[in-house]
Amino acid sequence: MTTIATDAPRATDETAAGGPWHSWISRESRATWLPIIALFILVGCFVAKSSAFLSPMNMVVMGAQGGPLLLISLGATFVILMGSIDLSVGGVAALSAALSGVALHDAGVSHGLALAVAVVFGIVAGGFNAFLVTVLRLPSFIATLASGSIFNGIMLHVLGGMALSVADDDSFADIAGSQFIPLVPNVLFYAVIAWAVLTAAQYNTRFGRYTTAIGAGERVALLTGLPVNRYKAAVFILSSTLASVGGFFLLSRLGSATPSIGDGYLLDSVAAIVVGGTALTGGVGGIGRTILGVALITILSNGLNVCGVSSFTQEIVKGAVIILAVLTTIDRRTLLTVVK
Amino acid sequence: MSREFSTPSPYSRRHFLRNAGIGTALMGGAAFNPVLSSTASAASESYKVAPLHQLLLLSNEWCTIINDAALRAAKVLGLPYQSTTFNLNDSLALTQAQSAAAAGAKLFLTNSMDGSSLGPIAKTAHSLGGYLVNVGTDIPWTSPLDYGPGFSQDFHPREDIGFYGAVRETVRQAVAKFGDKATFFHITGPTGTFADDLRSAAVNHAVSEFPGVKIIGSLPGNWNAGDGQKATEDLISRLGVPNGIIAQNDGSLTGVLAALRGLGIKAGDKVLTCGVDGSTDILRAIKSGRVTATAFQSPAYHGIQAVAHLFDALNGYQFTTPERFVGFAGIVVTKDNVEGVLKRYVDNPNLPFDPRLLSHVISGDNWDPQAPLVPIKYEEYFGVVPKPAGYKPPAAYVASIKSGEFDRVTRQYEAAYKLKLEDFDYPGVKV
Q: What is the mean pLDDT of residues B132-136?
A: 96
CA distance A36 to chain B (A): 23
Is A173 in Cβ contact with B258 (below 8 Å)? yes
Evaluate whether residue A20 is within a structural domain.
no
Measuring CA to CA, how many Å separate B281 from each of A124, B51, B221, B250? 30, 34, 17, 9
pLDDT in tens, B304-322: 999 999 999 999 999 999 9
Q: What is the mean pLDDT of residues B274-291?
A: 95
Is A152 in Cβ contact with B224 (below 8 Å)? no
Measuring CA to CA, how many Å separate B220 from each of A258, B74, B187, B272? 18, 36, 5, 19
The pLDDT value given to residue A266: 92
CA distance A31 to chain B (A): 29
- In this predicted structure, the answer to whether residue B18 has a pLDDT above a threshold of 60 is no
**Residue A317 corresponds to which amino acid?**
V
The pLDDT value given to residue B187: 97
Q: Which helix (H) or strand (E) holds B277?
A: strand B272-277
Q: Which of A49-58, B15-24, B371-380 has the lowest mean pLDDT?
A: B15-24
The pLDDT value given to residue A302: 93
Is A253 in Cβ contact with B229 (below 8 Å)? yes
- CA separation for the pair B286, B336 (Å, rounded): 9
Please tell me the number of Cα atoms within 13 Å of B32 on its side-chain side. Answer: 11
A29 three-state secondary structure:
helix
E strands of B30-182, at which residues?
52-56, 81-85, 107-110, 131-134, 151-157
- CA separation for the pair A121, A240 (Å, rounded): 8
The phi and psi torsions of B40 (rounded to 5 degrees) equal: -70, -35
Written as one string, the DSSP assignment of B3-28 is HHHHPPSS--HHHHHHHHHHHHHHHH
Cβ A25 vs Cβ A265: under 8 Å: no
CA distance B120 to chain A (A): 28
A310 interface with B at CB cutoff 8 Å: no
A167 interface with B at CB cutoff 8 Å: yes
More confident residue, B152 or A314: B152
Q: Which of B65, B28, B37 is nearest to B296 (CA)?
A: B65
Q: Which of A171-185, A310-324, B102-116, B365-379 has the lowest mean pLDDT?
A: A310-324
Name chain A contacts of B257, Cβ cutoff 8 Å: 255
Closest by Cβ to B284, choosing from A64, A165, A263: A165
Whole-angstrom Cα Rg for chain A: 20
The pLDDT value given to residue A10: 44
- CA separation for the pair A262, B93 (Å, rounded): 24
Q: Which of A152-156, A279-283, B104-108, B177-181 has the lowest mean pLDDT?
A: A279-283
A316 interface with B at CB cutoff 8 Å: no
A171 interface with B at CB cutoff 8 Å: no
The phi and psi torsions of B244 (rounded to 5 degrees) equal: -155, 155
Is B234 in Cβ contact with A306 (below 8 Å)? yes
Please tell me the number of Cα atoms within 13 Å of B91 on its side-chain side. Answer: 0
A71 interface with B at CB cutoff 8 Å: no
Closest by Cβ to B237, choosing from A61, A152, A263: A61
Is B251 in Cβ contact with A258 (below 8 Å)? yes
Q: Mean pLDDT score of chain B, rounded to an integer?
A: 89
- In this predicted structure, the answer to whether residue B392 has a pLDDT above a threshold of 70 is yes
- In this predicted structure, the answer to whether residue B10 has a pLDDT above a threshold of 80 is no
Nearest CA in chain A to B226: A261
The pLDDT value given to residue A216: 92
The pLDDT value given to residue B127: 95
The pLDDT value given to residue A168: 65
- CA separation for the pair A190, A63 (Å, rounded): 11
* Segment 230-259 of chain A within 8 Å of chain B by CB: 250, 253-256, 258-259
* Superfamily name and number for B162-296: Response regulator (3.40.50.2300)
The pLDDT value given to residue A337: 44
- In this predicted structure, the answer to whether residue B24 has a pLDDT above a threshold of 90 is no
Per 3-state DSSP, what percentage of chain B is helix, strand, and coil (rounded to 5)?
50, 15, 35
Is B262 in Cβ contact with A253 (below 8 Å)? yes
CA distance A91 to chain B (A): 13
Count interface pairs A-B at CB distance under 8 A. Answer: 136
Nearest CA in chain B to A49: B238
- In this predicted structure, the answer to whether residue B113 has a pLDDT above a threshold of 70 is yes
Is B263 in Cβ contact with A57 (below 8 Å)? yes
B17 interface with A at CB cutoff 8 Å: yes
Q: Which of A3, A22, A27 is nearest to A326 (CA)?
A: A27
More confident residue, B407 or A24: B407
Evaluate whether residue A18 is within a structural domain.
no
Measuring CA to CA, how many Å separate B47 from each of B2, B314, B362? 25, 9, 9
Q: How many domains does chain A have?
A: 1
A261 interface with B at CB cutoff 8 Å: yes
Q: What is the CATH number of the domain that holds A77?
A: 1.10.3470
Is A167 in Cβ contact with B261 (below 8 Å)? yes
More confident residue, B113 or B57: B113
Nearest CA in chain B to A165: B281
Residue numbers of the domain that contains A249: 7-12+25-45+52-337
Q: How confident is the model at residue B332 (pLDDT cuts 50, 70, 90)?
A: very high
What value of ipTM does the predicted structure carry? Answer: 0.80
Is B239 in Cβ contact with A158 (below 8 Å)? no
Name chain A contacts of B217, Cβ cutoff 8 Å: 308
- Which segments in chain A show pLDDT lower than 50? 1-17, 336-340
Q: Which helix (H) or strand (E) holds B124?
A: helix B118-127
B237 interface with A at CB cutoff 8 Å: yes
- CA separation for the pair B204, B383 (Å, rounded): 14
Is B17 in Cβ contact with A160 (below 8 Å)? yes
**Residue range(s) occupied by CATH 3.40.50.2300 in chain B:** 2-156+298-329+352-413, 162-296
The pLDDT value given to residue B44: 47
Q: Going by CATH, does the domain composed of B2-156+298-329+352-413 fall within 3.40.50.2300?
A: yes
B18 interface with A at CB cutoff 8 Å: yes
Closest by Cβ to A64, choosing from B217, B235, B262: B262
Evaluate whether residue A34 is within a structural domain.
yes
Q: Which of B206, B165, B203 is nearest to B187 (CA)?
A: B203
Is A60 in Cβ contact with B230 (below 8 Å)? no
More confident residue, B36 or B42: B42
B385 interface with A at CB cutoff 8 Å: no
